[in-house]
Structure 1
Amino acid sequence: MAAIDDNSGYNRMKEVKKFDESKIGVKGLSDSGITSIPQFFVHDPETLSDLKSSSSHTATIPTIDLSKINSHRPTIVDQITVAAKTWGFFQVINHGVPILILEETVNAIKAFHDQPHEVKAKYYKREEGKGVMYSSNNDLYRTKAASWHDSLQAWMGPEPPEVEELPEICRKEVVAWDLHATNVAETVMELLSEGLGLEAGKFKELTFSDARVLVGHCYPYCPQPDRTMGITSHTDPGIVTVLLQNHVPGLQVRHEDEWVDVKAVPGGLIINVGDMLQIISNGEYKSVQHRVLANSCKEVRISVVIFFNLSKWNEDGYCGPLPALLSPEKPPIYRNFTQREFVENFYSKGIDSKSLIEKITIHS
């Protein structure tokens, strides 16, 4: 990308660097009362052309009630399997986490982002993969246009940070949420595993919940929501994602070539399939595009996401479709790939959709 982007002498990289080094994030920009967004946040017309949800009908992601997981398990396995194959997204209710914990978690992440930027600045950095990091746009230097969100990230496994490294204002809640969300994820993974005809404990045995990162996103009010995005369209790279959000809207999921608004169900948690699970299931489960619109509400949108990833790769250093799911009738549709390929693909560019899957698909 050229340093100077147009004839007016606008130097994008200089402006990006200045914003990054100020450590104020988009929350700081929003709180300052700006009425127009900096140019490096403006997305191209193609991205902005379909910002409204295109759904003419009232489609919504499936909601699955886990309260009868013991008495009606086969039914719930069927529901989750269908949702993961057709939508790639679903909400779970009666998942065992008290409503109070959900509220405390959202409030604690909001409290972190509401602090003066001088207080948050000591966590502001760009060293991903371990510890605790606060930043605006983890792909700020790799993407064509920045998006309107800030994030607090904590790598909770396999080597969690020292508790003192977590910001005091949300420390207790982050540690508790990691535990609760992991329990929900492992329950869902058991059901997804059974849906493929595998033993319930197979995904846990394969370390599908050991490597995980907790991200507390803040989407503050944006004065020009029709010129930028909250987060651009992408798929998640890992196994599954557990999302807790407040009531401020914005999340959209791509379904049957339309953008569908995801409405928060009180007490619900949103689960979605990642690219890695699509690959491991040999295409049975679908990782789908989703995005967040820039926030036009005066109230901030908060979402707390935990991404669950594979922690131990095969002894030969490769990963691919699970051999137990392959047969002469169902040959692999993806080739095996290395951890290095996976990491380099994610960190070499802006957030995007399915680029790894496209690279490793076997074309007959």
Structure 2
Amino acid sequence: MSPALAIATETREGDALESQYQKGVKHLYERGIKKVPKKYILPVSERPNLRERKPYATELNLKLPVIDFAELQGANRSQVLKSLAYACEYYGFFQLVNHGIPNNVISNMIDAGGRFFELPLDEREKYMSSDITSPVRCGTSFSQTKDGVFCWRDFLKLSCHPLSDVLPRWPSSPVDFRKLVVTYAKETKLLFLMLVEAILEGLGITTTENKTREEDEETLKEFQDGSQLMVVNCYPPCPQPDLTLGMPPHSDYGFLTLLQQDEVEGLQIQFQEKWVTIKPIPNSFVVNVGDHLE
């Protein structure tokens, strides 16, 4: 075999392997791999240190602010607004409880997302795309077209605005997927708008003391007409979790992120140069201040 032919064969094999990576870590897990492929192995300095137990935020004397949404709607609103502004300014995160979204709406959303990723690969492949403008995009890693090292994460991104335009493009399997996700999208959009109103009021941008209600409504309308993006993240079991990460350190580019965790621990935030694990509160949201708000 000539060297040129050998190189060509090696290139084709490399392309085939790269194609396997593009199909996602769920596909690798389903194939029963026993070792993390080289494409996913982080440099030593960036790997998680699993030999040392990652402490909860509370064990580092850090209590992530908890905002009671019910109190925000009541007589104690002015005090909660101050707590909300403080959480946004000093932490960039807070946990939101008593938000009013029914528990079954949340559990149905988590279930629907999980069942999507349980679909056969040929069903999931229908929505795989590197086009970031696509209203529906299934992919892997953080940015599969740019990442030198891949992350142990698959995702399904759904554009939610305007729903009438994008809904026909959403996955039609599982059969109840669209119905359940639409309900969740509508509920979280309403919650987002009420949170935005409270945050802007806390910042003094909207307040009926200094402006007319019409001016406030004009400001808030910009958010009503704004984009909404939903991301369902899937983190299959990893055979060597000390070599890779589900997601790299990052900030969210939007205004606010409403993150719904399941019971699996793993979400970390950086506070005062330390990474701390956030313990999930059932049926709460972790709210992240995005780059636009910051």
Name the structure 2 match of 1:226. 242
CA contact (8 A) 1:129 1:155 kept: no
Equivalent residue for 2:64, pick from 37, 61, 64: 61
- 2:181 paired with 1:178: no
Q: Look up the SS of the partner of 2:36 in the other structure.
A: coil
- State how far apart, in whole Å, the 1-side matches of 2:100 and 2:90 are: 26
Name the structure 2 match of 1:344. none
Give the deviation of 1:132 after TM superposition. Answer: 0.9
Query: Which letter maps to 1:63?
Result: V
Larger % of strand: which? 1
Matches within 5 A, 1:117-266: 117-158=121-162, 161-168=165-172, 169=174, 170-199=177-206, 201=216, 204-207=220-223, 210-266=226-282
The 1:13–1:195 alpha-carbon spacing in structure 2 relative to 1, beyond 3 Å, is farther
Which moved further from structure 2: 48-57 or 210-219? Answer: 48-57
Give the deviation of 1:28 after TM superposition. Answer: 1.6
Q: Look up the SS of the partner of 1:211 in the other structure.
A: coil
Name the structure 2 match of 1:99. 103
Q: Look up the SS of the partner of 1:164 in the other structure.
A: helix
The 1:193–1:150 alpha-carbon spacing in structure 2 relative to 1, beyond 3 Å, is same
- State how far apart, in whole Å, the 2-side matches of 1:111 and 1:61 are: 31
CA contact (8 A) 1:53 1:258 kept: no
> Whose relative contact order is higher, 1 or 2, with alpha carbons under 8 Å and at least 6 apart?
2
Matches within 5 A, 1:194-343: 194-199=201-206, 201=216, 204-207=220-223, 210-278=226-294
Query: Which letter maps to 2:148?
Result: K
1:290-328 CA-to-partner distances (Å, cap 9, x unmatched) read xxxxxxxxxxxxxxxxxxxxxxxxxxxxxxxxxxxxxxx
Query: Which letter maps to 1:185?
Result: F
Task: Give the aligned CA root-mean-square deviation in angstroms.
Answer: 2.4
Name the structure 2 match of 1:355. none
Name the structure 2 match of 1:287. none
Give the deviation of 1:60 after TM superposition. Answer: 3.6
- State how far apart, in whole Å, the 2-side matches of 1:161 and 1:108 are: 21
Structure 1 runs (4+) deviating above 6 angstroms are 9-13
The 1:191–1:13 alpha-carbon spacing in structure 2 relative to 1, beyond 3 Å, is farther
Q: Percent identity?
A: 27
Larger % of helix: which? 2
CA contact (8 A) 2:101 2:187 kept: yes
CA contact (8 A) 1:241 1:273 kept: yes
Name the structure 2 match of 1:34. 33
Query: Which letter maps to 1:252?
Result: Q
Query: Which letter maps to 1:240?
Result: L
Q: Look up the SS of the partner of 2:133 in the other structure.
A: coil
CA contact (8 A) 1:185 1:209 kept: no
Q: Look up the SS of the partner of 1:36 in the other structure.
A: coil
TM-score normalised to structure 2 length = 0.84
The 1:58–1:19 alpha-carbon spacing in structure 2 relative to 1, beyond 3 Å, is farther
Give the deviation of 1:207 after TM superposition. Answer: 2.9
CA contact (8 A) 1:60 1:262 kept: no
CA contact (8 A) 1:208 1:239 kept: no
Query: Which letter maps to 1:189?
Result: V
Give the deviation of 1:16 after TM superposition. Answer: 6.3
Query: Which letter maps to 1:81?
Result: A
CA contact (8 A) 1:37 1:223 kept: yes
Name the structure 1 match of 2:3. none
The 1:45–1:105 alpha-carbon spacing in structure 2 relative to 1, beyond 3 Å, is same
The 1:60–1:152 alpha-carbon spacing in structure 2 relative to 1, beyond 3 Å, is same
* Count of aligned positions: 268
Query: Which letter maps to 1:198?
Result: I
- State how far apart, in whole Å, the 2-side matches of 1:207 and 1:12 are: 48
Query: Which letter maps to 1:42?
Result: I
The 1:234–1:10 alpha-carbon spacing in structure 2 relative to 1, beyond 3 Å, is farther
Any stretches of 5+ residues in structure 2 without a counterpart? 1-9, 208-215
